[in-house]
């Protein structure tokens, strides 16, 4: 194999990986699988796709070696094949944020229509939790909370929040988080909390980013 053949084959393989990411549905699926293993049925329900379409997208990701399959009883569960997959998705998202003005406009317009909900950073959350000034709630579905969550968080899925408002204190700020910056569950939760007289704010990252930061040396908050 000469140098040109080598380069053609290498770049071709890399292009096949990037091609597998060239779908808004598959990008959303990667963000969902970053929360933990999911069945085809669960992915379909959360993305609004049909089972057949979901299976097709998952197969595309599997062919690119970005996801793996595990059989659990009669169901098949899909997982990201490694943290590098989420890191690649995160890098792509950050590239889009920095280079695409339309993305910035869409986020700005969405926040403006939802009471200008500016999020707080992970560093600020750690400080508030350490000082006992905040209560952290995970508003993702319970299945995702069970797969992994920020240690000090309590699970209150966004769909159940209205019925559980009475259980929340009004003398503490409530910080809500969900899957990540593009997930809207925390935005909806914060809007409901504020309309109900609570102090509330959204965390600017999701559980996968928090877990990644923890693994690279940033400790979990100690609010005991």
Q: Which residues have CB under 8 Å from 109's CB, separation 6+? A: none
Q: Which residue in the block uniquely carries the two structure tokens 């379909």?
A: 44
Q: Which residues have CB under 8 Å from 151's CB, separation 6+? A: 220, 221
Q: Residue 127: name the closest of 173, 179, 184 by CA.
A: 173
How far, in Å, CA of 36 to CA of 46, rounded?
13
Active site residue 178: yes
Sheet of strand 200-202: strand arrangement:
154-155, 134-138, 173-177, 200-202
Query: Collapsing DSSP states into helix, strand and coil, what is residue 203?
Result: strand
Find out whether 81 and 65 touch, Cβ atoms under 8 Å: yes
Q: Single out the catalytic residue among 49, 85, 176, 178.
A: 178
How far, in Å, CA of 134 to CA of 169, rounded?
10
Q: Which residue in the block uniquely carries the two structure tokens 């808004």?
A: 24
Find out whether 67 and 79 touch, Cβ atoms under 8 Å: yes
Q: Residue 212: name the closest of 98, 104, 117, 80 by CA.
A: 80
Phi, psi angle pair for 15, to nearest 5°: -65, -35
Which residues belong to the active site?
178
């Amino acid at each position: 194999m000469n140098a040109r053949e080598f380069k053609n084959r290498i770049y071709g393989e890399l292009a096949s990986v990037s091609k597998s990411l060239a779908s808004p549905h598959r990008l959303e699926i990667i963000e969902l699988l970053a929360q933990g293993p999911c069945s085809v049925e669960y992915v379909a329900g959360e993305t609004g796709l049909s089972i057949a379409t979901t299976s097709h997208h998952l197969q595309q990701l599997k062919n690119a070696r970005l996801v793996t399959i595990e059989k659990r009883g009669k169901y098949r569960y899909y997982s990201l094949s490694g943290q590098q997959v989420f890191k690649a998705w995160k890098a792509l998202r950050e590239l889009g944020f920095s280079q695409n003005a339309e993305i910035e406009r869409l986020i700005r317009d969405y926040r403006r229509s939802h009471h200008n909900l500016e999020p707080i950073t992970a560093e600020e959350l750690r400080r508030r939790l350490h000082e006992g000034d905040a209560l952290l709630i995970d508003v993702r579905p319970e299945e995702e909370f069970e797969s992994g969550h920020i240690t000090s968080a309590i699970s209150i899925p966004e769909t159940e929040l209205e019925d559980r408002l009475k259980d929340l204190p009004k003398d503490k700020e409530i910080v809500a988080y969900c899957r990540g910056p593009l997930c809207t569950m925390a935005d909806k939760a914060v809007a409901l909390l504020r309309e109900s007289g609570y102090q509330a704010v959204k965390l600017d990252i999701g559980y996968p980013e928090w877990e990644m930061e923890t693994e690279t040396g940033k400790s979990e908050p100690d609010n005991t």
